[in-house]
Structure 1
């Protein structure tokens, strides 16, 4: 019964957020806090910065596009976020723009990254965000660059037939054009674009939303609209 009430009160997406809210609710109960107070608190929570953060809606080629920002940069986080978005909008075209974070992480978890994007209809990969002094402690930069890259990841993912479209994008200024091409080819008029990564990809999102009629609202507003 508590789970059903929490699910109704929760304004953020994802089964993992429901699990987190249940853990918090049980802890609050153990402290003697009333269920109604717990549910009010859960209902008031609108999510964290860059955690499936809804940034706004625009139109491209006659298609309605909802744009999200997400900090996920580890395979487990990526899968959880994309699963939540797919569950929320099962019929929408789901496009992920992903910027790997640290070449060393990309190298060590390469096979996991390759299997992390099964829920998307299209994937656009930007060059990895390099962190000075933290990339590849056991390898030289030359060795890492030679062995792993976003382009190599794109080629590996493209071999998986579950992905109808995988694009490596070395020039981020071309993003709008690539998105327009992908969106125009979709049979659905509703699309979701999630800008994902822990690097400077968040700086691209405002430029993507520089479009006549762009609307900004909170994730809470989006959740309220779907009820």
Structure 2
């Protein structure tokens, strides 16, 4: 019996895939650096062994799956190839694994993780479902009918997949270290669309997605009345957001989600359209109302008289959406943005857009740019962004106590690097003071 060994098992996608294989009855282990990462808790719960990187981990009888962050010179990958072991990159293995199920790829520049999480929740409430979410959550079942998974466009990795369905949330220019232009991004999504076997659920409010060509039906969703599935009459309460859905201009049903912000309604609408197309009842689909959210997407906690929010937002559109959510949920409270840019290439490409989105907050703190080891910083520094935002302050890890001055504020810790350490430092120094 083979054992699956994951090189870089703490990665969000890798962790999720490891859990899926484990839940499906396979023997799983993995290796990674020893620094703590938030995905470890789920792996530990399932007693999946995590080893420090070493060539000695690799031996006969293993099937090796490597994370995309590790090149072919990595010592474990070199050893696996020397021994002639079955070897896959993450996206290659996932592409093969999908064939066992009715597969639904969720892709787009923004909203993938939240939408995959919501879709997995609704499907799981009604059927045996396997799912892989970009927050490191994965679940498998030997009798799964559906497989919902997040499909990333970066380096065109999603072209390894030939899913039954694809939900496409939007097309936007991101990953400027790889894509050359918005047209380059569009061509990647266009190629993906040609690989879908049954149907595409696409946001019709996105001008780029309106031009997608496919060999299968394309159902459009959105707020404008040209869409096949349209949300109308959005109302917000303490419980979340309630809206009516019209299918081709005919009233279908009313749904409630426990989230806030227009983008969360669009995410829900894509799930409603997919489930409707698969013949599910409104009663089944209304399980939307019990979705608790995904990790690092508006993760809230009460802290003294403040609310602390951890959010993965690392693109100007995502920052705008996070601030919009906070504004709708906490209309009478001060919103404080604490932002750590992720990669120098993205910061440089969107410098002005970052400034404009952050200005939507009432106060702004900036943390040093979280760079990739693979990129050259050039002369770009966090001060270049600070200059574009009046009254923005720089935040050092040792000086987080200044955030205490925002009494009853909502503190939005945003970024894709290690922004969590600033929140942890703030909580730690607050505890020390109160002792």
TM-score of the aligned structures, taking structure 2 as reference length: 0.40
State how far apart, in whole Å, the 2-side matches of 1:96 and 1:117 are. 7
Deviation string 1:63-104 (CA, Å, 9 cap, x unpaired) is x20011001111111111111211221211000110011112
Relative to its length, the structure with more strand (as a share) is: 2
Deviation string 1:183-221 (CA, Å, 9 cap, x unpaired) is 15xxxxx31001100011123323333446xxxxxxxxx
Contact 1:100 1:106 in 2 (8 A): yes
State how far apart, in whole Å, the 2-side matches of 1:77 and 1:17 are. 12
2:45 — aligned with what?
none
- 1:78-93, aligned counterparts within 5 Å? 78-93=319-334
Q: Does 1:72 align with 2:324?
A: no
Contact 2:397 2:425 in 1 (8 A): no
- Greater Rg over alpha carbons, structure: 2
Match of 1:173 among 398, 402, 423: 398
Match of 1:125 among 366, 373, 376: 366
Any gaps of 5 or more consecutive residues in structure 1? 159-164, 185-189, 213-227
Match of 1:5 among 254, 263, 273: 254
Query: Alpha carbon RMSD of aligned pairs, Å?
Result: 1.8
Q: Does 1:38 align with 2:270?
A: no
2:415 — aligned with what?
197
Contact 1:98 1:126 in 2 (8 A): yes
2:94 — aligned with what?
none
**Higher relative contact order, chain-length normalized (CA < 8 Å, sep 6+):** 1
Number of residue-to-residue matches in the alignment: 181
Match of 2:382 among 137, 140, 150: 150
SS of 1:123's equivalent? strand
Contact 1:86 1:119 in 2 (8 A): no
State how far apart, in whole Å, the 1-side matches of 2:386 and 2:306 are. 24
State how far apart, in whole Å, the 2-side matches of 1:5 and 1:43 are. 11
State how far apart, in whole Å, the 1-side matches of 2:425 and 2:289 are. 31
Q: Does 1:51 align with 2:297?
A: yes
Any gaps of 5 or more consecutive residues in structure 2? 1-243, 247-252
State how far apart, in whole Å, the 1-side matches of 2:292 and 2:425 are. 24
Shift of 1:107: 1.2
State how far apart, in whole Å, the 2-side matches of 1:207 and 1:125 are. 15
2:276 — aligned with what?
29
Q: Does 1:18 align with 2:265?
A: yes
Relative to its length, the structure with more helix (as a share) is: 1
